[in-house]
Amino acid sequence: MKYDEIKEVYEFIFKSYNKPFLEKHIKKFIELDEYLPYSSTFFCVTNTQSLTFEYVSKNYKSCLGLDPEELKKRGMRYFWSRIHPDDVEPWIQSLNGLMEFTLEKIPISKRGDTNYTWNFRLKNSEGNYVNVVQNTTPLIFGSEGKPIIGLAHYTVLDAGLKMDISASAKILNANNEYETQYFNNFSQKLLQGRISNRERDVIRLLVLNQSSKAISDKLNISSHTVDTHRRNILKKLNISSTGELVGLLKSNKHWL
């Protein structure tokens, strides 16, 4: 897909018609950025309506070696031009899937409680393609209920790590914990529909070394149900033990 075509598809996915007010949000993020330490994560305030980055945090340069002012000046089209060519098509598909799920399955009243994650490879200042996991929380929605302004966190991972393009949507439950409501992976067997969303939530907590009792408390289900999920997960993946499962997932964290 050519980058001119990306703009057309992206604008179609996020198309809306009103003008969100940004100043108060950006001011708060600038204040926050002054106190954050340098790390492998940077954040931006994204505007899918104008295809711009309203704010780029200081860690952008330390993570990628790129000039944040150039990103703000040239916008999303410049950012897209640095995505690995092999990742562009599945990345667009993942965004479209997330938007379709949002509009069809998430009530407008719950969209502010939704968190989105996807990944791709991005070329840094040295010409190397590093893995980037983007986690976006919508701040302002357009007239059609589409997320327009978002707070996007980007975590930069080692270029040698093999990662498939995937996308997920999580929604806060009554206990103020995120539950997976949507996941799409384009090649990994682990998350090609055989694992349910609830089983995926159990897996995520297992990786955090949570006991069945702790998982049952967090997910508001019985310990017996958690154990049933654990047995089903092992059977579906043809894995002999929870320890093997956790080891597998910790070495492939994008599956979570």
Statement to judge: residues 40 and 110 lie in one domain: yes
Residue after which a domain boundary falls, among 169, 185, 201: 185
Predicted structure pTM score: 0.67
Statement to judge: residues 49 and 168 lie in one domain: yes
- Strand pairing category for 178-185 and 114-123: unpaired
User: Which pLDDT belongs to residue 11?
Assistant: 62
* CA distance to 47, 194, 195, 217, 236, per residue, from 189 (Å): 34, 8, 9, 29, 10
User: Which pLDDT belongs to residue 60?
Assistant: 96
Residue after which a domain boundary falls, among 165, 185, 205: 185
CA–CA dist 215, 245 (Å, integer): 16
CA–CA dist 88, 6 (Å, integer): 8
User: Which pLDDT belongs to residue 200?
Assistant: 80
Q: Is the dihedral of CA 150, 83, 204, 160 positive or negative?
A: negative
Statement to judge: residues 178 and 207 lie in one domain: no
User: Which pLDDT belongs to residue 63?
Assistant: 95
User: Which pLDDT belongs to residue 152?
Assistant: 94
Identify the segments of the chain with pLDDT beneath 70.
Answer: 1-26, 186-194, 237-240, 244-256
Helices (H), 106-240: 197-207, 212-219, 223-237
DSSP 76-90: HHHHHHTB-HHHHHH
Domain range enclosing 17: 3-185
Whats the size of the chain, residue-wise?
256
**Residue 48 tokens, joined:** 């899918």
Residue position matching structure tokens 């992976």: 185
Task: Give strand pairing partners of 141.
Answer: 147
Statement to judge: residues 88 and 177 lie in one domain: yes
Residue position matching structure tokens 């952008």: 60
CA angle 202, 205, 206 (to 5 degrees): 85
DSSP 170-206: EEE-TTS-EEEEEEEESS-GGGSSSS-HHHHHHHHHH
Statement to judge: residues 140 and 193 lie in one domain: no
Statement to judge: residues 165 and 219 lie in one domain: no
pLDDT in tens, 45-77: 999 888 999 899 999 999 999 999 999 999 998
- Return the CATH number at 224: 1.10.10.10
The H or E element spanning position 43 is strand 41-47
